[in-house]
Chain A
Amino acid sequence: MLDTGYIYLTVDELCARALVHLISGVDQECGLTCAAGATATAITGYTEWVCHGERVLTLGWDWQMHAIGDAVRLQRVGPPSSNLMLQSAAGRDLGHDHTIALLNDFVDGFDWQHATLGHINARYS
């Protein structure tokens, strides 16, 4: 059977892993539009995170930037992409759609915005 590179974890095992920020970026389409003097309606981008191990776990998702008063906030848009297949405690694959749903909750449950904003500020300033 073809090994398609999934890393199999339960949700608890995933939560026990420490994700490290890899790279984030602003969508280039926005960059070009802004450079041409137009007003961007939304700033969007991507962020990539990894967890090192025997095989590297990869998780990435898109975000949109919102201004709330003087503060800037990033919000995930769209589902995360990964090489993960989540499993039940009994070791049964949860499937593509269920894995995506749980990854949505996982991403929304930790503070990725701080590191992402810091990287964006450093990269584009």
Chain B
Amino acid sequence: MVIAGSPKALTHDIYRKVGLYRQKVFVETLGWDLQTRDGMELDQFDRPDTLYMVSQDDDGFVNGCARLLPTHRPYLLGEVFPELMNGQPVPCSPDVWELSRFAAVDFNARGGSALAQFSSGIAVQLLRQAIACAAEHGAKRLITVSPIGIERLLRHTGVHAHRAGPPMIVDGHPIFACWIDVDDAA
């Protein structure tokens, strides 16, 4: 089950579960150097107006999440990774939303690697619903900062996407900015 909404709409309990889940995925599993507080991975882009997608299993455990931000307000690519745009200006429009902190690691699933997060059915469902949610809020395109592995998911989901620029190597891993067509997918 995937639910979407602002922190207020999600309830405090689910919001906290998302922060704990992101800590487990991005900090503990993937080793990203991110700020945490109270065991939760949260940053300056986790605001009252931020939209979240949260996937939960039948027992209520979070097994996927994503974050949506409009680019006419501060967002990750614009503030932290503008060089990923390959010399182009960063998007700044209510028509363009950023997808970030996408994860679909099911820690309760038997078998499979926690790092195989871009190949699961949860990932496909989460991506589709994130695109639909962005479209409902006026997005015509998404831009995302992600590991290059997300391209496999985008292809698998049948979404048209292309790179905004070359990958940048961070801690030995390539990350890049990618345009996603909302009209085709929504």
Contact = CB atoms under 8 A, between A and B. Distances in A.
Given A5-B164, A5-B165, A23-B174, A48 B115 contact: no
Nearest to B113: A29
A6 B95 CA distance: 19
Contact of A6 (B85, B116, B162): B162
Interface in A38-80: 46, 48, 50, 54-58, 60, 62, 78-79
A3 interface: yes
Interface in B153-186: 155, 160, 162-167, 169, 173-174, 176, 179
Contacts of B169: 22-23
Nearest to A46: B148
A5 B152 contact: no
A48 B113 CA distance: 24
Given A4-B179, A22-B166, A48-B174, A32 B113 contact: yes
Given A4-B162, A5-B163, A55 B87 contact: yes
B141 interface: yes
A88 interface: no
Contacts of A78: 152, 155
Contacts of B160: 96
A82 interface: yes
Interface of A: 2-6, 22-23, 25, 28-29, 32-33, 46, 48, 50, 54-58, 60, 62, 78-79, 81-83, 85, 96
Question: Which 6 residue pairs across A and B have the least CB separation, nearest first?
Answer: A58-B166, A5-B164, A83-B163, A29-B113, A56-B166, A29-B116
Interface of B: 85-89, 91, 93, 95-96, 113, 115-116, 140-141, 148, 151-152, 155, 160, 162-167, 169, 173-174, 176, 179
